[in-house]
Amino acid sequence: MTANGTPYAPHTEAETAAMLSALGVEREEELFDIPEEIRFDGTFDITNREERTTRALVGRVLSENDELVEFLGRGHYDHYVPSMIDHLTDRSEFLTSYTQYQPEIAQGFLQALFEYQSMIVELTGLDVANCSMYDAATALGEAATLAIRSREADGARVLVPERLHEGRRRTLENYLIGHDVDIEAYPMDDGNVDVAELTDRVDESTLLVYAETPTVRGAIEEHLGSIGDLTGEHDALFVVGSDPLALALLEAPARLGADIVIGDAATLGLPAAYGMGTGLFACREAFLRQVPGRLVGASEDATDRRAYTLTLQTREQHIRRERATSNICTNQAWVALRTAMHIAWLGPSGLAELAEDCVVHARELADRLNEIRGLKAPVHDRHHFREFVAHTDQPAQAVASDLEASGYAVHVVGEHEIQLCVTETNADSIDGLVEAATEAAK
Amino acid sequence: MTDDSADEPLTYEQARWANDDEVYEPLLSEKHTQRVDIDSSLPDELTRDSLELPDLSEPQLARHYTRLSEMNYGVESGPFPLGSCTMKYNPKFTEDVAAHPMASVHPDRSERSVQGILEVQYRLQEQLARIGGMDAVTLQPPAGAAGEFTGILLARAYHESNGDDRSEVVIPDSAHGTNFASAAMAGYDVVSLPSADDGRVDTDALAAALSQETAALMLTNPNTLGLFERDIVKIAEMVHDVGGLLYYDGANLNALLGRARPGDMGFDIMHYNVHKTFATPHGGGGPGAGPVGVTDELAFFLPDPHVRRSNGGYERYKPEHSIGKVHGYDGNWLVLLKTYAYIARLGDEGLADASAKAVLNANYLASRIDHEIPFGPFHHEFVASAGDQDAADVAKRMLDYGVHPPTTKWPDIVDEALMTEPTEIEGKRTLDQLAAAFNAVHGEDAATIERAPERTAARRIDQVSAARNPRLSWQALDDE
């Protein structure tokens, strides 16, 4: 019999009494060493509830969301997450564990993260991957601060595409606020990097050039090799943004000159989750001592068996404080576990086939929309991955609103431009979307 | 298995089992995996030639990850008194809440179509504000350290808007390492504040450290020694007198729920570690979430978007002088949703009782262990000294007793520190067992302790060679 306000403290009345008595006090209040003048005697006005009614309450609130079929992407994607992942990652030994500061009793998570790092190394072609950042936006910020530490260049420039997801651009601005560094946008040409324009802008003051594939408009970037050559000539870092599924098909960025790859790894492993992600971060070995975040390394235990441990912790803030490579401590480890599990579940063939589907589905949907009066798709004459931009004769906002009224969510990305993303989770709804778009675009 | 094998082969290595009828046991030394040729409708120059990844069936993978989980220690495996980390039991039902199909939608949905999510965000903003005694709360920062960074960016924006260019952030030497790193990231010089002999802020040293250059003082209360900063009202005055802001590190908020609020103590900015105070799972190191609360004076600067009520519904808006964004979208939503459910379950009464039991447990456990505890009285955690023993070795030996050890060797103002936080979820019997484990190790000889752990699946791991010869991926094992 417990006698508590919180249902998660196991104390019986007798036990509480015995503990208080052992401490020589009558009530818990006496243990609080808080001056009278700042003691709180108000309420939060939050009613406690039974578990059953709490679930019902939250379910009722969430049901206020509309049920829509989402054709949304722009850097955040919904792929089918196999049931096995929920069941296995919800095992409490994973879910309720902490950072692996005692490796002897954390071998399971450490090995899973080592496997995650190995998969990211394979997909990016780079030497080192950390075991997660918060999301793509913060990973981009960390890549830029790594570049600053590596180049020791104040008053330098970071070059980013003019079309960059707003959340990434504005997060990057905050990561660079403590540094004398300018962020400069370079132009795009029909959905890809305008290499001639970029060439004019890269010089010795260029700290890094950031490019994405696929881009925020869904186009596969065709000029990564040229950009890699360009940054190589000027000793600027080349940072590529992508995701693990796209990289299953596309050339490994390291082979095109990338020094760092960032992106959102939770493209695999998490559902849409209202923007929750996992920052992917991989780099060349030359930057090993500058890597932000945690690294899992292989070692041996006292019986010479292979074992895993967090390593190179002298970069981290609990040891190096203000001279740390980053302030990141809590990361997205459990999501990285889910990503690794999803990749393993698909296997190399499954992953490559799913990636190929992302090319084929986007092409098919664009072709079908292009046949509709009032629509032209895709806007860019490029190869696309998952998504593309369509031109609308009608105001894009009106088209999107009509589509939403019919049960379909799309992006508005210009006065006369909408963007649509197709994956295996919404491919079955294409017929309905096309029908609704035929009405909406007129 | 060969001698250098781990207990569980990598997924990569297990791929070999499926491919070789002759071999049942994994050939660990060969590290074989599946390589496929890439056949694409894209031009060759854009695509890779091949992809090499593990290739296992679902049952094999299920066994693999089950075995890995068995080689891992979580809150449900046993006591986890890791100081300053607040390893509480994570109620199961919040996982079901987060799995609600309506919880997982795309972040670029129209406002109108996600009223349910906006309502949860709004209510949680309001509830956290009341719990902390703050006026407004942003949910965007995806972790505690991200909250610190956000808070310092808010302080910076506040000073700049007053035409006040300040260069320093003052931080006690006993603070979390993230405080220092977050202040530096936001472009500030860090002034380290030595602790007084009683383990608290030395107000004379504080007076010397404060100046017109002080943008903020970062403090946790109770501090990392578990001690309440009794002079907090005076400290707040001193900081405010030089025009600085007072920042509250919410890592230790579990000690204060319903008893005291940072806002009432004079703090201007605070972050909440919801994965600590509000029992969302730590997930092996994340995700967490680090909402930030501020007073009215600073609310104009909060990240974009913020959520407010509008004609019968909820809307996102950009605060007038918003610092912008600290995450690509709105942070770790599923963690915040679990937080909301946890708070709704406990209510005022449960939250206050959680603190009461956490403080009771810490004091009771401390009273039962033989080690010297140099400072007090303490709240939810205490720092004992291992004395002549090496605290890191003591921790390894505690693993043999089937418990997760305390945080060791930090803060360094206590020799061989054992920072211990039992939280409210342990009962008297478990605390007695935990004390017995502490005391047993306390009485053991150096040789026994240095050999530990001996009863764990993996024995003591060589962390020096892991750092000297970094092998960070399966690919890097190739030269073995």
The last residue of one of the domains, among A14, A35, A65, is A65
Half-sphere CA count of B217, side-chain side, radius 13 A: 30
Whether A143 and A6 map to the same domain: the answer is: no
Q: Where does A393-438 show beta strands of DSSP type E?
A: 408-409, 411-414, 417-421
What is the distance between the terminal CA atoms of chain B, rounded to a whole angstrom? 16
Residue A201 — left, alpha, or beta (φ > 0 → left; ψ -120 to 50 → alpha)?
Answer: alpha
Q: Across the interface, which of B53, B115, B462 has its CB nearest the CB of A343?
A: B53
CA–CA distance, A254 with B149 (Å, rounded to integer): 31
Instruction: Name the minimum distance, in Å, from the CA of A189 to any CA of chain B.
Output: 18
- List the single residue in A49, A134, A347 with the smallest CB-CB distance to B327: A134
Cβ distance A62 to B149 less than 8 Å, yes or no, reads no
In the prediction, which pLDDT does B8 show? 73
The Cα–Cα gap between B118 and A29 comes to: 37
**Measured between CB atoms, does B249 come within 8 Å of chain A?**
no
For residues B440 and A90, give the distance between their C-alpha atoms in angstroms, rounded to a whole number: 34
A226–chain B Cβ distance below 8 A for any pair: no
User: Does A343 reach chain B within 8 Å, measured CB to CB?
Assistant: yes
In this structure, the answer to whether residues A55 and A130 fall within a common structural domain is no
Cα(B451)–Cα(B400) distance, integer angstroms: 11
Whether residues A114 and A249 fall in one domain = yes
Nearest residue, CB atoms, B340 vs list A58, A128, A178: A58
Same domain, A76 and A34: no
Residues A273 and A417 in one domain: no
Q: Which of B473, B478, B480 to mutate: most A Cβ within 10 Å?
A: B473
Contact indicator for B288, B178 with CB cutoff of 8 Å: no
Residue in B closest to A104 by C-alpha: B458
**CB distance A64 to B109 below 8 Å:** no
The candidate with the shortest Cα–Cα distance to A19, out of B97, B367, B440, B209, is: B367
Query: Is A300 in contact with B465 (Cβ distance < 8 A)?
Result: yes
Partners of B324 on chain A (C-beta within 8 Å) are: 170-171, 173-174
Q: Is the dihedral of CA A208, A214, A217, A223 positive or negative?
A: positive
Which of B89, B96, B76 has its CA nearest to residue B337?
B96
Q: Are the CB atoms for B83 and B420 separated by under 8 Å?
A: yes
| pLDDT computed for residue B477 by the predictor | 86
Tell me the two tokens of residue B399: 């693993």
**Residue B21: its pLDDT value, please?**
54
Same domain for A397 and A268? no
Query: Which pLDDT tens digit goes with each residue over B109-153?
Result: 999 999 999 999 999 999 999 999 999 999 999 999 999 999 999
Local confidence band at B16 (pLDDT 50, 70, 90 cut-offs): low
Of A342, A372, A404, the one marking the end of a domain is A342
Contacts of B468 (CB under 8 A, 6+ apart): none
B20 pLDDT more than 60: no
Half-sphere exposure of A234 (CA within 13 A, CB side): 22
Among chain A residues, the shortest Cα distance to B153 is held by A174
Choose the final residue of a domain: A18, A36, A65: A65
DSSP labels, B396-449:
HHHHHTTSPPPEES-STTSTTEEEE---TT--HHHHHHHHHHHHHHHTS-HHHH
The reply to whether A111 and A25 lie within a common domain is no
Tell whether B427 is within 8 A of chain A (Cβ). Answer: yes
> Which domains are delineated in chain B?
94-345 (3.40.640.10)
- CB-CB under 8 Å, A99 with B282: yes
Do A204 and A283 lie in a common domain? yes
Which chain B residues contact residue A86 at CB under 8 A? 99
**Is the pLDDT reported for residue B9 higher than 90?**
no
Contact between residue A367 and residue A404 where contact means Cβ atoms under 8 Å apart: no
Q: How many alpha carbons fall within 13 Å on the CB side of residue A319? A: 9
> Which residues of chain A from 162 to 201 reach within 8 Å of chain B, CB to CB?
165-168, 170-171, 173-175, 177-179
Distance from CA of B330 to the nearest CA of A (A): 6
- Helix or strand holding residue A193 (H, E): strand A192-193
Q: Which carries the bigger pLDDT value, residue B474 or residue A142?
A: A142
A1 touching B (Cβ < 8 Å): no
Look up residue A164 and give its two tokens.
């960059």
Q: Are residues A276 and A130 in the same domain?
A: yes
What angle separates helix B115-132 from helix A51-62, to the nearest 10 degrees? Answer: 130
DSSP A245-296: HHHTTBPPGGGGT-SEEEEEGGGTTS--GGG---EEEEE-GGGGGG--S-EE
Q: Does B351 touch chain A (CB under 8 A)?
A: yes
Could you tell me if B337 lies within 8 Å of chain A, comparing CB atoms? yes
Tally the domains of chain A.
3
Contact A213, A355 (CB under 8 A): no
Dist. CA B314–CA B333, nearest whole Å = 17
Cβ pair B10, A111 in contact under 8 A? yes
Structural domain for A32, as ranges: 1-65
- From the list B7, B334, B395, the residue facing A273 with the nearest CB is B334
Q: Which residue stretches of chain A have pLDDT < 50?
A: 1
Same domain, residue pair A421 and A297 = no
Identify which of A219, A162, A213 has the alpha carbon closest to the alpha carbon of residue A191: A219
With an 8 Å Cβ cutoff, are A107 and B457 in contact? yes
Exposure on the CB side of residue A419, measured as CA atoms within 13 A: 25
pLDDT in tens, B244-277: 999 999 999 999 999 999 999 999 999 999 999 9
Query: Residue A316: its chain B contacts at CB < 8 A?
Result: 177
| Contact (CB, 8 A) for B259 and B222 | no
By C-alpha distance, the chain A residue nearest B190 is: A322
Spatial contact of B231 and B203, defined as CB atoms under 8 Å apart? yes
Contact call for A92 and B74, based on CB within 8 A: yes
Ranking A150-159, B69-78, B89-98, B165-174 by mean pLDDT, the lowest is A150-159
Predicted local distance difference test score (pLDDT) of residue B10: 79
- Chain A nearest-CA distance from B391, in A, is 13
Largest CA distance in chain B: 78
Tell me the Ramachandran region of residue A217: left when phi exceeds 0, alpha when psi lies from -120 to 50, beta otherwise.
Answer: alpha
If asked whether residues A226 and A326 sit together in one domain, one would say: yes
* Residue A118: closest C-alpha in chain B: B473
CATH number, domain of A373, equals: 3.90.1150.10
Same domain, A220 and A363: no
CA distance A413 to A146: 32
Question: What beta strand segments (E) does B241-295 contain?
Answer: 245-250, 269-272, 292-294
What is the pLDDT, as a whole number, of residue A4?
A: 78
Mutate to test the interface with B, among A321, A356, A361, A363 (most CBs of B within 10 A): A321
Identify all chain B residues contacting A35, using CB atoms and an 8 Å cutoff. Answer: 230, 232-233
Q: Which residues of B touch A6 (CB under 8 A)?
A: 346, 350-351, 353-354, 357, 424
